[in-house]
């Protein structure tokens, strides 16, 4: 079984291959490969990422089918269903790492900024449920000079939102807290650049 550090190294190396265009998981699976994989899965890492079509975790980290347990939701927010999914993978497959993966130019971040800037024009109730989970990460930044520079505000809000999700996973689940305390699980934050393809890992 891989350690958390070995997993992180493997993901970082995969991302370097993706950035350089030297990916190794382009070939299609054979019928036999799919048949064998149908029996069970053995992911070595969990990724909680955004639904954005430009950020497919398997491609970004150059990993194969079955390697990553990926949970995608707009704004990489943490709600009970996401926590439950992480708990399931961490316990069932003994994944030693959870990556909360945010990205530049996130639509959920922008929707939250727009809502805070224009409170009289709220989005739909369903979209508002996402905005409300992102809101604390943006509101605190809007109390600083960043409120006068929306481009910089968005950049900082992405990182702030990743930190919030990391914190919620670390402290919002008895199951995950227990695994972390036993040294069996590490929750880390990361940000994908749409421009460069590079993933930066944060040591929150």
pLDDT tens for 128-185 read 999 999 999 999 999 999 999 999 999 999 999 999 999 999 999 999 999 999 999 9
Domains in the chain, please, with CATH? 4-22+41-108+162-202 (3.40.1050.10)
d(CA 100, CA 164): 10
Residue 3 and residue 178: Cα distance in Å, rounded? Answer: 17
> Does residue 100 contact residue 169 with C-beta atoms inside 8 Å?
yes
Rounded Cα gap, residues 21 and 16, in angstroms? 8
pTM for this one?
A: 0.95
Rounded to 10 degrees, what is the CA torsion of 100, 104, 105, 108? 10
Assigned token pair, 114: 């727009």
């Amino acid at each position: 079984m891989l350690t958390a550090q070995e997993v992180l190294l493997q993901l970082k190396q995969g991302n370097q291959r993706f950035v350089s265009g030297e990916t190794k998981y382009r070939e299609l699976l054979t019928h036999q490969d799919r048949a064998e994989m149908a029996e069970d899965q053995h992911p070595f890492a969990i990724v909680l990422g955004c639904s954005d079509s430009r950020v497919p975790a398997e491609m970004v980290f150059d990993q194969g089918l079955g390697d990553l347990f990926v949970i995608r939701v707009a704004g990489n927010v943490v709600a009970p269903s996401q926590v439950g999914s992480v708990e399931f993978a961490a316990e069932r497959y003994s994944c030693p790492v959870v990556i909360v993966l945010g990205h530049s130019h996130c639509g959920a971040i922008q929707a939250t900024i727009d809502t805070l800037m224009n409170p009289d024009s709220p989005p739909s109730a369903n979209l508002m449920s996402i905005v409300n989970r992102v809101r604390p990460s943006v509101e605190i930044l809007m109390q600083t000079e960043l409120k006068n520079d929306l481009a910089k505000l968005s950049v900082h809000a992405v990182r702030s939102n990743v930190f919030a999700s990391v914190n919620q996973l670390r402290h919002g689940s008895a199951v995950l807290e227990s695994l972390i305390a036993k040294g069996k699980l590490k929750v880390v934050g990361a940000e994908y650049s749409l421009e460069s393809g590079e993933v930066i890992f944060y040591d929150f």
